[in-house]
Amino acid sequence: MASAGGRRWRALPALVVLCAAAAAVGGCSSPGGGATAAKSRLQGDYVAVVSKFLSSVVEIQAGSTEGSGVVYDTRGDIVTNAHVVGASKKFEVRASALSTPLRARLIGEFAPDDLAVIRVLSHAKSLRPVRWADSAKVQAGQIVLAMGSPYGLIDSVTQGIVSATGRLVTGPAVKGQPPAVISDAIQTSAAINPGNSGGALVLLSGYVLGIPTLTAKDPQLGTAAEGIGFAIPANTVRAIASQLIKTGRVTKSDRASLDFTGRTHTSPLGKPDGVTVDAVWPGGSAAGAGIAVGEVIVGVGGKQTLNLNQLDSVLIDFAPGRRVSVEILRDGNPHQVTAKLGSLRS
């Protein structure tokens, strides 16, 4: 669906010029039977992977929005981005393996990780589930293919490499929710265009490494940065999708939470200066620390939290179950409490 244009992204230190995988492949064309055979095998790998995924990566029509999706299981469950789904509850699914579009309904979504699952209402057997890679084992330099339906072009493929791992990026926002903060994102040089969101980042082994979600933004030109895209890692996709399919919601994630709902607090001058607690989840982290409704959270672990987005970014650095100091304003007076962080959930 959407590219980086018009979105807010976490600033990268600098734009790095990346070599496309095709340049490296070109080195195989040197004289010699061994090099020619190796090039032929590599080309065969490309053809085999692309052919295999024709019934596994689909186009999703969500109202006026288009994006991509990946077939998750034999029941017709399809995982995609939450920002592709948006506020829609009903969808049309298209694939080159299908003679006609299929209707689908929403199973569940988890905006913090920008993930959602929809399910086709018929012909699930026509769709082929993918196999997921262990994204914890990914290495920079591995060749990857980004598959999806950019600009409505089903079965489009771009190639590149894994440029880096473990990136922390701010992604698209679902209406009514703060922007997704994607931790441990996979950076790739494979082009990710509008409509690629929710598709597949595939290894030549035929395993899906992640879901392409966004491109970086050139800080000077304000346009999408060529060759710098990001994907949600497969291990995160599987953990979240499996819960959405089972219950329609996420009850446990690897993201820390203070277990409360709130809003950005502003000073008399109209400047953000903390997060007002609107509701505390019974038995949750904030409740256990004695944080009450109406109090203002101004810092966690020694870092300022002047608004909701900043609080989300700070919590990314901590794991569920960890004890951290939380700075609050109680009746306008500063206090410090210790909270045992919970797990972010729907």
- Residues catalogued as catalytic: 83, 114, 197
Straight-line distance from the first to the last Cα atom of the chain, in angstroms, rounded to the nearest whole number: 23
> Cβ of 216: how many Cβ atoms within 10 Å?
24
Bridge-based pairing of strands 181-188 and 224-233 is: antiparallel
Looking up tokens 């797990």 gives: 343
Residue 93, φ and ψ in degrees, nearest 5 = -115, 130
Nearest to 231 by CA among 219, 214, 206: 214
Given a contact cutoff of 8 angstroms between Cβ atoms, the answer to whether 284 and 260 are in contact is yes
Residue 206, φ and ψ in degrees, nearest 5 = 95, 5
Nearest to 166 by CA among 182, 178, 180: 182
**Chain centroid offset of residue 2 CA:** 12
